[in-house]
Structure 1
Amino acid sequence: SVGGYEIIAGERRYRASELAGKETIPAIIRQFDESQMMEVAILENLQREDLTPLEEAQAYEMLQKNLGLTQEEVSKKMGKSRPYITNYLRLLTLPQKTKGLLQRGELSMGQARTLLGLKDKDRIDELAKRVVKEGMPVRKVEALVAKMNERGQKQKKKNAGKSAFVRASESQLAAKFGSPVNITENKTGKGHLSIDFASPEELNRILDLLGVNLDD
């Protein structure tokens, strides 16, 4: 509060005026209850030009949780469609490392939304890092997510009847290589191990992890 009043909106403008040495600034005085104050503060924050998608999503979540609004009520209050609000709120379900990439602007809203379509949620962080590293356009991310989901379904079918040791080995190897791994084993204890890849670039990435240099 300042001189018996509390700044609800315009905190940055007030600080800038203070730094400029101004003794008075234009202001509008309103009498609000706590919920109204919170709503105005959130709406003011949403007007920021440097607002990230994640911060926008957090603002919508605050309107829901702190003011008890439904998604429909938030959409009407903001003048946005309900799917628009839903898509932003879904960003909050991303794992922490991927949220960090989104917050820093390394990952776009479109890329982040597409990553949410990955059925194996434990692999989102790994894929997000790859998307940023390779600068993948959204269409390529969509194709990769679809392919990984398809592989996941096939892997589930292949896993039927496999021992816990084999399944755990596949899981650890898949995490290491960032690609699906399949192990088949016969009754004599002999078997076969395969690592899937979707492109020459992905094969090169796997070879690098194995320490294989074909130029030598």
Structure 2
Amino acid sequence: MLAKDIEPVKKNTLARLLTGSLLLALTGAAVLMAMVFGVRPDLSSAIATPIFWEKLAFPLSLSVGAAIATSRLSRPAASVGVAWVILILPVACVWMAGIAVVGAAAPADRAVAIFGQSWRSCPFNILLLSIPGFIAIFYAVAHLAPTRLRLAGAASGLLAGTVATVAYCFHCPEMSPAFWSIWYLLGMAIVAALGALLGPRLLRW
């Protein structure tokens, strides 16, 4: 009876759902960033510096790993696989860069390199900007077939957090790898933890 009148799933359903949710996540985060925080006034000069693109590369590379993990975990009994490597490498690189920056700075400047001007608000700003992506990505994954719901929720939350951080880079004035390695990562980790917490409830099918 369960197999009666079963129709084949349309080709590329997973890719279409996740791609659509990512576009909504990025658009929503960008619009929310512009409305709530505003684009940094010196963006035109900032984008001419290598350090800005290094900052942007951090959440972008994490989003690749998170997208692969979310895609894999949207299938029954799947594992994260190679996505672990893609997630660990950017974090290791930015931590090494942060340690190098703090080590090379004068003792009086080390706290500034780590805390910047916005460490108190940065993780929560990322959390706010992740709301559109969180909704869109969870909607997409819930319409697929995840079975490891807590891990799938964590990957989906991390993906929403990385996309939000990409948008946040166009507002945030902080240009120290030591800052990104702690406060950007904390913001993304909060969204991932929220996803892990809500995954069993929101992704159940």
Please classify the TM superposition score into its range, dividing by the shorter chain length: under 0.3
* TM superposition score normalised by structure 1: 0.22
- 1 or 2 for the larger relative contact order (CA 8 Å, sep ≥6)? 2
Structure holding more strand per residue? 1
Structure of greater Rg: 1
Structure holding more helix per residue? 2
